Amino acid sequence: MRHGSIYHMLRFGTAIVVISFFINGTLALFPAHAEEAAAVKTIPVKEIKKDASAGADTISPEQVEKARAITSERIYWLIGLWALIILAIILLRWQLRDDDKLYEEGYYSKEL
Amino acid sequence: MEEKKIDVKKALDERLLTGTLIALARKKMVPIHKHSIWYYMGALLLILFMIQMVTGPVLLFYYKPAAETAYQSIAEIMVKVPYGWLIRSVHHWSSNLMIMIAFVHFFSTFLVKAYRRPREFTWLTGMVMFLLVLFLGYTGYTLPYDERAFFALNVGTDMPGAIPVVGEYVLKFLRGGENVGLHTLNRFFALHVGVLPLALLAVLAIHIVMVQLHGMSIPVSVEKKADAEKRKIPAKPMFPHFVWHDAINGLLLVGLLFTLAVCMPSELGPVIDYLKPAPVGVKPDWFFLWVYQILKWIPTYVLGIEGEILGITGLALVAGAIFCAPFIDWKSQRNERSPLFTIFGLVSLLVFLVFTAIGFFF
């Protein structure tokens, strides 16, 4: 400790203990939740599963996997996106080159 | 009748101080030196955050935040909603990239001692944002409410329980009760879409204003070298030079993001089976793997103290030291080299990388 003395350490320790009691006491005044939520094990599992799998709209894991598949259309789309990105970068590089030229000519300040 | 001319520029300046804002943007100079590359990280994070703020609400149109409906609504987004798979995958990958770049930004600013005077509060706001981003990532991970999310909720909410004094309260607050139950998902949903993004936006605004006012921090080594050579450090204006560079980097980032989203769309794990025991080797998401691995390696009891409590207290102390770095790294505050903090930063980086890799591969 920079101003290391037993007095300082004791004061620091006492402050920590008092603050801990204060926080604990304050938290005890405010409940963390409204009512006890049902424990996981007591959730009516079968009902939830039945509800989730009922009806014609239920989507199976196979359908989700199919939606995730890499198709040729998606790859073409991605190639198109990259082409646009590269074009935009070329245009920005040209702009940057012009600004750098202005910078070299002293249009902007060169130092901090 | 005399024709009145309206000066739009003047009118806007009068009402919105646009002239002042443009002048402020032009005033900022970015120093050019060998560490300048790290200055780009903040803008990349901002771009990713904006992507999150666009894709998130789109997902909200279809997501149903209840234990019975969350899983099926995510499946619907993936299968039935036009481009739903893409929006969800972009949201997923942008959050992962955001956390990854946040780690890079954090370690780079720590190692170049960017927290030195007068940037103490810029550092503190950055640290708060870093924690918010991590918590956003964690809460988002649990929302699909599949098997992985369920066990992540159990393991993740269990950890704060070990914090001395407030642990049990935090645990109950997060879970909405003693155990992970129906209320937990609602709480995580509220945090993910309401509390955390709003808090992040507020702190981000302060952070950006401070960065703009104080300018970029220059590493001590660069300053010392320039002083020794009796020369000034070259600089380029933020606007337009660095803005164009940021735009180029942002475009490359968007390209990478969509490539990941198309080639590796986000998954949806199996439906939760509440009666099934936790599978062997269940792990948290990659950004908490290092914490998981450290806690896993600590023995159950160390000198009569519970290992988990000891581990979490130790990690909290390290985090506290990092948080308070501007106030305890006196050498840096005097613009001197502080090798102790450099070593501390490098060891922290090494621990993060090694333990994440071990957690990932083993």
| CA-closest candidate to residue B264, choices B14, B35, B88, B18 | B88
B114: closest CA among B130, B100, B126? Answer: B126
Q: Which two structure tokens, joined as six digits, stand for B328? A: 């305890």
Q: Is there a domain that residue A65 lies in?
A: no
Neighbours of B165 (CB within 10 A): 15
- Which pLDDT belongs to residue B3? 63
The shortest CB-CB distance from B251 to any of A85, A99, A111 is to: A85
Residue B232 or residue A89, greater confidence = A89
Average confidence (pLDDT) over B171-198: 91
Is A20 in CB contact (< 8 Å) with chain B? yes
Q: Which amino acid is at B211?
A: V
**Is A90 near chain B, with CB under 8 Å?**
no
Residue pair B179/A39 in contact (Cβ under 8 Å)? The answer is: yes
For A70, the closest chain B residue by CA position comes to B263
- Tell me what percent of the residues of chain A surpass a pLDDT of 70: 71
d(CA B275, CA A110): 68
Q: Alpha-carbon distance B133 to B147, whole Å?
A: 23
Spatial separation of the C-alpha atoms in residues B191 and B174, rounded to whole Å: 10
pLDDT band at B241 (very low <50, low <70, confident <90, very high): confident
Q: Does the beta-carbon distance from B274 to A110 stay under 8 Å?
A: no
Of B282 and A51, which is predicted with more confidence?
A: B282
Q: Residue A56: is its pLDDT beyond 60? A: no
pLDDT of residue A101: 85
Tell me, yes or no, whether A9 lies in a domain: yes
Confidence of residue B322 (pLDDT cuts 50, 70, 90): very high
Of A79-93, B122-136, B225-239, B343-357, minimum mean pLDDT range = B225-239
> Cβ-count burial of B278 within 10 angstroms (0-12 exposed, 13-18 middle, 19+ buried)?
exposed
B235 in A contact zone (CB under 8 Å)? yes
Asked if residue A53 belongs to a domain, the reply is: no
Residue A104, chain B, CB below 8 Å: the answer is no
* Predicted pLDDT of residue B237: 82
Chain A: residue nearest B265 by CA?
A68
Q: Containing domain of residue A92, as a range?
A: 71-112
Q: Which of A25-29, B264-268, B297-301 has the lowest mean pLDDT?
A: A25-29
Residue B105's closest CA among B37, B51, B59? B37
Question: Does an H or E element contain B236, and which?
Answer: strand B235-237
Is the separation of the CB atoms in A111 and B235 below 8 Å? yes
Q: Tokens 């080639």 sit at which residue?
A: B263
% pLDDT > 90, chain B: 52
Mean pLDDT over all residues of chain A? Answer: 78
Rounded to whole angstroms, what are the CA distances from B154 to A39, B72, B238, B287, B356?
12, 21, 46, 17, 20
Is residue B39 over pLDDT 50?
Answer: yes
Mutate to test the interface with B, among A18, A108, A109 (most CBs of B within 10 A): A108
Judging contacts by C-beta atoms under 8 Å, the chain A residues touching residue B176 are: 33-34, 37
Residue B154 has pLDDT above 50, yes or no: yes
Q: Is residue A58 part of a domain?
A: no
In a domain, A94, yes or no: yes
Query: What pLDDT is stored for residue A19 in this prediction?
Result: 87
Lowest average pLDDT, out of B17-26, B210-219, B234-243, B251-260, goes to B17-26
**Burial of B311: CB neighbours in 10 Å, binned 0-12, 13-18, 19+:** buried
Running DSSP on this structure, what letter comes out for residue B237?
E
How many residues belong to chain A?
A: 112
Partner-chain contact B244 A99, CB within 8 Å: yes
Distance from CA of B72 to the nearest CA of A (A): 7
**CA angle B148–B152–B157, rounded 5-degree value:** 160
Are A96 and B274 a contacting pair at CB < 8 A? no
Residue of A26, A41, A51, A96 best to disrupt the B interface, most CBs of B under 10 A: A96
Average pLDDT (A50-61) is 65
Residue A62 maps to a domain: no
Q: Which of residues 26-65 of A touch B (CB under 8 A)?
A: 27, 32-41, 43, 45, 48-49, 51-52, 57-59, 61, 63-64
pLDDT greater than 50 at residue A7? yes
- Look at A70-79, B154-163, B170-179 and tell me which has the smallest mean pLDDT: B154-163
Would you state the pLDDT for residue A1?
A: 46
Lowest mean pLDDT among A21-30, B123-132, B209-218, B222-231: A21-30
**B264 confidence band (pLDDT: 50, 70, 90):** very high
Q: Would an 8 Å CB–CB cutoff place A3 in contact with chain B?
A: no
Q: For the residues B58-86, what does the mean pLDDT come to?
A: 92
Which range (A56-60, B118-122, B175-179, B267-271) has the least confidence? A56-60
Point out the residue among A37, A48, A100 whose CB comes nearest to the CB of B181. Answer: A37
User: Domains plus CATH for chain B?
Assistant: 8-361 (1.20.810.10)
**Model confidence over A10-41: pLDDT tens digits?**
888 888 888 888 888 888 777 777 665 555 55
> What is the rounded CA–CA span in Å between residue A4 and residue A68?
62
Answer whether B267's CB lies under 8 Å from B71's CB: no
DSSP string, B71-134: HHHHHHHHHTSTTHHHHHHHHHHHHHHHHHHHHHHHHHHHHTTTT-TT-HHHHHHHHHHHHHHH
B186: confidence class by pLDDT, cuts 50, 70, 90: very high
The structural domain count of chain A equals: 2
pLDDT at residue A111, rounded to an integer: 57
Size of interface A-B (CB pairs under 8 A): 142
- Supply the ipTM of this predicted assembly: 0.85
Q: Does the structure show a pLDDT above 80 at B83?
A: yes
Average pLDDT value over all residues in chain B: 90
Chain B, window 169-198: residues with a beta carbon less than 8 angstroms from a chain A beta carbon: 169-170, 172-173, 175-184
Question: Average pLDDT of B327-356?
Answer: 92
B75 vs A59: CB contact, 8 Å cut-off?
yes
